[in-house]
Structure 1
Amino acid sequence: MISSKPLDIPCSLQERKVLEKIALAAHELGVPAYLIGGFVRDKLLGRRTKDMDVVCVGDGIALAHKVAESLGNNIAVNFFKTYGTAQVKWNDLEIEFVGARKESYRQESRNPEVVAGTLEDDQNRRDFTINALAISLKEANYGTLLDPFNGLADLDKKIIRTPLAPAQTFSDDPLRMMRAIRFASQLQFTIEATAFTAIQENAERIRIISQERITDEFNKIMLSPKPSVGLDLLYKAGLLKIIFPQMIDMVGVEMYEGKGHKDNFYHTLQVVDNIAENTRDLWLRWAALLHDIGKPATKKFEPGHGWTFHGHDAVGGKMVTRIFTRFKLPLHDKMKLVKKLVELHLRPISLTKENITDSAIRRLLFDAGDDIDGLMMLCEADITSKNKTKVKRYLENFELVRKRLKEVEESDRIRNWQPPVTGEMIMETFALQPGRIVGDLKSAIREAILDGEIPNTYEAAYAFLLKKAGALNLTPVK
């Protein structure tokens, strides 16, 4: 019986049940089947995973239908006849089926020419040795780990290595260069020296990859436990200057009259790592990545003072839109969030000074809205000094700012606030058409409340409106 045989990887009872059904279905169809790739790798590493890849020496789509039938409950099979792949979802598992294949590539494309092949052919085409590990689902050796490239040893040594010659591997499919760096960043592994050299030599080949695929891998690097690992590897490999040239502009320290500035590239990587310790929110991590992106364009040396970057927050905010467009990232809510945080990231720092007015606090709450907590997280991540006393002082100051923000918000309710007298009310009160006068009156009310000149109430705002309107010789209609 297949079920009585052990597996060379740890699996839950549910996973074992599914594998047994796959093995039985493959046996009935007469097609050898194997569990392969990321599921095997992650199970051996003790990582959570719910994606199974099954390769069979035969028709993967037919095997998927047979397995779905055995699982019952009218389980659907999503299949792509052109590619010979199929997917079955059962509970929280996603199982992908494909026939073993052999691939060959043309120089101008990463899309291979595919023919049916053996398990050995299929393992040869895998990107890395740790992804070529397979578990046999054949009755004769069910549960046995098949490791032709010593991937198990590479897992133990924490090495990213290609099954075949790395130069050929990366030239065939240049996206594998991004994947190598992504795995190094996610798993905290080291890319083998010859493989990394091959990435450097083939970096220009990344240009044939679609932006969507590049962005997908880049975002996975951004979501890794310590994103700086992958970002630094992208830089050293020569890939970053191709896919994200604005980041390269931040590299290095310039000296003049004995004064230098910090390396804004490595400072940024530290900020991204700092914020990654507190959130898995991809867009807060992007805000950290871009918070100083405007510095190269605003860098200036002022005699007697040193290097300045005046206005880099505003310039950086404008760059966010172009960068998101290039990366084909969401251009609505997510882009607006990142843009807002980049533009505001210096504001809380200014509030750490003494004698900051409630007006300044109100304005920050008004401008940041619901994103105030993310903004404060970014500002705290922006502290990268090696001077522990200085870091402690900054953090204490930010804690005071948080306290002030909370106090003013509780008393004034400014976050996401709109003035109690609207533009529509102004037009109705004075029989005005939409125009500059209406906008000026509305702005005056808003500024008066934010400055603390009048309370945040309808009565006070309306009285203020009548006063301002009177100065313009406007009278309310009866």
Structure 2
Amino acid sequence: MTQELHKEAIQNPIFKLIGETSQELGTDSYVIGGFVRDYLLKRGTPKDIDIVTIGSGIELAKKVASKLKGKPQVSIFKNFGTAMIKHQELELEFVGARKESYHHDSRKPVVEDGSLEDDQNRRDFTINAIALALNQLNYGQLLDPFNGLGDLEKKLIRTPLEPSITYSDDPLRMMRAIRFATQLDFTIELKSLQAITENKERIKIVSKERIIDELHKIILSKKPSIGFKLLHQTSLLHIILPELTALQGIEEIEGQRHKDNFWHTLEVVDNISENTDNLWLRWAALLHDIGKAPTKRFHKKNGWTFHAHEFVGSKMVYKLFKRLRMPLNDKMKFVQKMVLMSSRPIILSEDHVTDSAVRRLVFDAGEYVEDLMTLCEADITTKNPRKQRKYKNNFQIVRRKIVEVEERDHVRNFQPPVTGEEIMKVFNLKPSKEIGILKEAIKEAILDGEIPNEYEAAYQFMLEKGKKMNLKTN
């Protein structure tokens, strides 16, 4: 690439301003990292821009902000020697060039001022160490000491320095290597991959929050299985998500085998990723079978069974989220619900689809019935074209039935047609178990199709049921 073409990357006036301000302060500045990488890969223009200066990043940020329209606030992170400016749609992070050294028990470095070369040495990967100069003398010049440009062309993830030192110093880089390989569809250099395996135990000093942040990015990528295969290959997955690796393997007893539920799970995650960007639905796909490892049994008569694996799996979701410091709120409850109900539409699609069964499915899934169907369709991993067609057709029948039943019976986000207060008034009751019994009986009658989901029918049913319970009306 010519220097002129690199100038095209930094044509936004903000870069000229940073360069001029830097010169006023008597320092040199460069744009480095993801902005340069993604420009060279033609992945669009990132909104996060890292600026490294041979001096104080905080001082440069303050001076730049004072010249910008509206004088944006500067967020200063003294401990890290960094400063951030939000300007228009951009997030500009300023840092002074530095060199780092690490203690074995921490991924927090001891930092000293350094040169641009020192700063490029401390970068995680060669493709993230490419810099573009913002200085008057060499504006737009590409500085690429580790041939990151060549690695971009080869689609290779490689560390600037010895990989074992890079990963041992900051073990989060192991997750980042796998995440970049997944997002960019790159290969991790063999030496680097071996170093990740050798340093896998070091991941234990990294906070759960940072690990999960990388896992989220892997799960949200176009083909998450790339990342999970690498996590498995390097044994990081055994440490982070043992519930998943416990699914691996095929056992055979008396000629009867079960499928490998680990590799099946990765196929399901890839399938669902073609149809949704919902992070938590993708998590549900990843965890939908985790209950199969603890519930696996062999019976001479029935062969391999995984009795109640959905129920067990939904309980495991809570423990897993808690261990990994993930949110224990509605997001976790959504994943639990999807795991718990993951087989319901499958059973429906295999049997004759009755209105009653569909009503119960819609009632139990509520607003998430669409998500549940998306998960179940992703669960079709058979390689037999005839079976695949059959399953997909059956799911279409279930989907049509859901629309019909919902239009007619309105059981999604069900509210009982007759309220508890009305029951108390009709039968002159104080709060008691009888009210609960009547409400439940009305709900069951609607779900079974005995009565329509309408006030008058529910009211008459309540009177008859109350009479059978020897309740007297006013």
Counting only pairs closer than 5 Å after superposition, residues 146-225 of structure 1 correspond to structure 2 as 146-225=143-222
Give the letter aligned to residue 6 of structure 2: D
1:29 maps to which of 8, 25, 31: 25
Whether 1:19 aligns to 2:15 is yes
Whether 1:306 aligns to 2:296 is no
2:209–2:325: 8 Å Cα contact kept in structure 1? yes
**Alpha-carbon distance between aligned partners in 1 of 2:230 and 2:424, rounded to the nearest angstrom:** 59
In the TM superposition, residue 12 of structure 1 has moved relative to its aligned partner by 7.3
Secondary structure of the equivalent of 2:264? Answer: helix
**Alpha-carbon distance between aligned partners in 1 of 2:314 and 2:430, rounded to the nearest angstrom:** 34
Query: What do residues 146-197 of structure 1 show as CA deviations (whole Å, max 9, x unaligned)?
Result: 0000111001101110000001001000111111111111111111001110
Equivalence for 1:42: 38
**Alpha-carbon distance between aligned partners in 2 of 1:428 and 1:312, rounded to the nearest angstrom:** 44
Secondary structure of the equivalent of 1:82? Answer: helix
In the TM superposition, residue 7 of structure 1 has moved relative to its aligned partner by 4.9
2:130 maps to which of 133, 136, 140: 133
In the TM superposition, residue 9 of structure 1 has moved relative to its aligned partner by 6.4
In the TM superposition, residue 436 of structure 1 has moved relative to its aligned partner by 2.5
Secondary structure of the equivalent of 1:6? Answer: helix
1:132–1:151: 8 Å Cα contact kept in structure 2? yes
**Alpha-carbon distance between aligned partners in 2 of 1:410 and 1:356, rounded to the nearest angstrom:** 17
**Alpha-carbon distance between aligned partners in 2 of 1:80 and 1:380, rounded to the nearest angstrom:** 47
**Alpha-carbon distance between aligned partners in 2 of 1:10 and 1:195, rounded to the nearest angstrom:** 33
**Alpha-carbon distance between aligned partners in 2 of 1:463 and 1:196, rounded to the nearest angstrom:** 70
Secondary structure of the equivalent of 1:429? Answer: helix
> Structure 1 stretch 64-73 or stretch 279-288: which is displaced more?
64-73
Structure 1: gaps spanning 5 or more residues: none
What TM-score results when the alignment is normalised by the length of structure 2?
0.97
Equivalence for 1:99: 96
Secondary structure of the equivalent of 2:105? Answer: coil
1:102–1:122: 8 Å Cα contact kept in structure 2? yes
Equivalence for 2:4: 6
**Alpha-carbon distance between aligned partners in 2 of 1:356 and 1:188, rounded to the nearest angstrom:** 42
Give the letter aligned to residue 45 of structure 1: L
Counting only pairs closer than 5 Å after superposition, residues 13-412 of structure 1 correspond to structure 2 as 13=11, 16-48=12-44, 49-412=46-409
In the TM superposition, residue 355 of structure 1 has moved relative to its aligned partner by 3.3
**Alpha-carbon distance between aligned partners in 1 of 2:8 and 2:297, rounded to the nearest angstrom:** 58
**Alpha-carbon distance between aligned partners in 2 of 1:258 and 1:282, rounded to the nearest angstrom:** 39
Secondary structure of the equivalent of 2:267? Answer: helix
Secondary structure of the equivalent of 1:186? Answer: helix
Secondary structure of the equivalent of 1:393? Answer: helix
**Alpha-carbon distance between aligned partners in 2 of 1:459 and 1:394, rounded to the nearest angstrom:** 40
Secondary structure of the equivalent of 1:351? Answer: helix
**Alpha-carbon distance between aligned partners in 2 of 1:178 and 1:56, rounded to the nearest angstrom:** 27
Equivalence for 2:459: 462
RMSD: 1.3
In the TM superposition, residue 69 of structure 1 has moved relative to its aligned partner by 2.0
1:9–1:44: 8 Å Cα contact kept in structure 2? no
In the TM superposition, residue 213 of structure 1 has moved relative to its aligned partner by 0.6
2:10–2:140: 8 Å Cα contact kept in structure 1? no
Give the letter aligned to residue 368 of structure 1: A
Percent of aligned pairs sharing the same letter: 58
Equivalence for 1:423: 420
1:177–1:199: 8 Å Cα contact kept in structure 2? yes
Does the C-alpha gap of structure 1 residues 10 and 319 become closer, same or farther in structure 2, counting only changes over 3 Å? farther
Structure 2: gaps spanning 5 or more residues: none
**Alpha-carbon distance between aligned partners in 1 of 2:207 and 2:161, rounded to the nearest angstrom:** 24
* Matched length: 471
What TM-score results when the alignment is normalised by the length of structure 1?
0.96
1:64–1:77: 8 Å Cα contact kept in structure 2? yes
Query: What do residues 284-333 of structure 1 show as CA deviations (whole Å, max 9, x unaligned)?
Result: 10010011110011111121432111211111111111111122222121
Give the letter aligned to residue 48 of structure 2: D
**Alpha-carbon distance between aligned partners in 2 of 1:433 and 1:181, rounded to the nearest angstrom:** 62
